[in-house]
Amino acid sequence: MERLKELRKVLGLTQAALASQLSVSQQTVARWERGDAEPSFATLRDIATLLGTSVDDLLEYSVGRAKISSQHWRLQDESIDGFWGHIGLLLPGKLKSQWYPITENECGRIHHILSERHTSSGWLLLSTLNNKALIVNPDLMQRIRLLDDAADQPSDDDWELSIDGYQGWGAEIYRGISEFFWDEDEFESKNSKALKKVITDLIEEHKLDEEAVSEFIEHTKIHLKNGSLISFKADRSDTYELAVDADCATPSTISLKNDHTGELNYFNPMHVALVEIPLTEYLEAAREMMEELEGEGASQ
C-alpha cells in the first residue's frame, strides 16, 4: 500500500506511531506498506479515519474530482490535498449562508472556474469534506464566499455551521453511521471496536435517529430559486449522471427518481439554485458504473 506510506510520511507519523494508534506491531505496518500483507477492512477504516481520508483513497480508487481528500489542515505536499477553509453559499431568499468545508485544491479550482465562467459550464460541481457533492448554479446565488480557515470569521454574523460543518467526519464515519441504523451485520463486521465507539458516541451526542440520519446522510436536497427546499433519497445513478452532466454543461432538465417511492421528479434547471448529493452515495454510483463498464469490456 504505497498510498499508506505516502500519507503517513506527509502527516509526520512513524510506522511505530501509527502502529501504536492501531494496536498492531510496527512490523505489521511495514508489511502493509511493502505489500506483503493486507489489513482487514475494519483496520482499513481505522487507518483511513486516523489519516483523515477514506478507504477509497487508501486503495487509490477515485472518480474524477469526487475523491475524498485528507481532512488534515494544509498538508505541505503537492500530492496530498488538505483542509483549507470553507465555501459559503447564500441561497435565494435566505439571510445566512450555508458553509461547507473544502480542501485547498478545491478552493483553487472553484476560484478559477468562477473567474472564467464564460469559457466553461454555467454550473459548478464541487466536493466538500462533510460528505457533499454540490451542484451550484452561481447565477441564482446571492453571494458565494471563500473563507480561509486562517482568517477571521465573518463580521456580519453570517457564520453558522452544521453539526459536521467544520472539517467533516470522514467518509468511513458517514458509512458507519448508515450501517449502524440499516445494516447491523455490516456495522459489526466492517468496523473495529474503537471505530464503533466513535460512531455510537457521535450518534448519542447529536441525538441522531433513523429519520435524522436519513435526512443528514442519505437525502439529496434540491434548493429552488423561490427559497423552498425539496429533500428525498434519490436514486444514486440519477444523481451521478446529473453531476457528470452539470460538470460539462448546464443540464437541459433535472430528473431524479425517489429511491423509496419510485416517484420520478423533474426540475427546470433555471429554477434550481443548488443540489446537495451525499458524496458517499455519489462514490458508490461511480464505483458501480466503473464495474459495469469493466464487465462490458471483459465480455467483448
Domain 83-168+218-299 classification at class level: mainly beta
Check residue 63 and give its pLDDT. Answer: 47
Closest CA to 66 of 10, 112, 135, 163: 135
Closest CA to 219 of 229, 206, 227: 229
Closest CA to 154 of 90, 244, 242: 90
**Measured between alpha carbons, how far is 98 from 100 in angstroms, rounded to an integer?**
7
Check residue 67 and give its pLDDT. Answer: 43
Check residue 92 and give its pLDDT. Answer: 96
Closest CA to 54 of 237, 206, 193, 176: 176
Q: What are the extents of the domains in the chain?
A: 83-168+218-299
Check residue 187 and give its pLDDT. Answer: 97
Angle at 226 (CA atoms; ends 145, 255), nearest 5 degrees: 90
pLDDT digits (tens, 9 = 90+) for 245-257: 888 888 889 999 9
Measured CA distances, 103 to 46, 58, 69, 146, 191 (Å): 22, 17, 7, 11, 26
pLDDT digits (tens, 9 = 90+) for 126-147: 999 999 999 999 999 999 999 9
pLDDT digits (tens, 9 = 90+) for 58-98: 886 554 444 446 666 555 556 677 889 999 999 999 999 99
Buried b (16+ CB within 10 A) or exposed e, 24-42: beeebbebbbeeeeebeeb
Residues 6+ apart with CB under 8 A from 193: none
Check residue 56 and give its pLDDT. Answer: 83
Check residue 160 and give its pLDDT. Answer: 92
Below-70 pLDDT ranges, the chain: 60-79, 117-121, 297-300
